[in-house]
Amino acid sequence: MATKIFVNLPVQSLDRSVGFFTKLGYTFNPKFTDANATCMIIAEDIYAMLLVKDFFKTFTKKEIADATKVTEVLISLSMDSRAQVDAMLDKAVAAGGYEYKEKMDQGFMYQRGFQDLDGHQWEIFWMDPAAAQ
């Protein structure tokens, strides 16, 4: 069995978060969705579990970070082109997120970042495959 990754993120409102990420083109696995959580499908083996904060608290004894005030994690996703990076950022901003930093263009790598409705930071990037060699 291939290793899969499930990033768990606390959210204020599950419906609001599902609406936001649906506008970005993501879908959700109904088998792992209820009033407390949903499984957002990012790629074949990459998922984000969006958990209502009270439910998220049942998995940890630590305080939950307020992602609007502190950085808890940077979620980086690669795209196939610069145009896809720009398109994803445009969708995120149109859905209510915001671009929290200037775009970075190093020629071989192009990167932009947005903050979702709960303050989680998403880094969207393209890297020239030849540069990765």
25 in a structural domain: yes
CATH number at residue 33: 3.10.180.10
**Domain membership of residue 76 as a residue range:** 7-52+72-132
| pLDDT recorded at residue 69 | 94
| Adjacent-strand bridge partners of 46 | 5, 43
2 in a structural domain: no
Confidence of residue 2 (pLDDT cuts 50, 70, 90): confident
Look at the chain and report how many structural domains it folds into: 1
User: Over the stretch 58-112, which tens digit does the pLDDT of each residue have?
Assistant: 999 999 999 999 998 999 999 999 999 999 999 999 999 999 999 999 999 999 9
Rounded Cα gap, residues 113 and 25, in angstroms: 17
63 in a structural domain: no
Between the CA of residue 88 and those of 32, 37, 117, what are the distances in Å? Answer: 25, 24, 15
64 in a structural domain: no
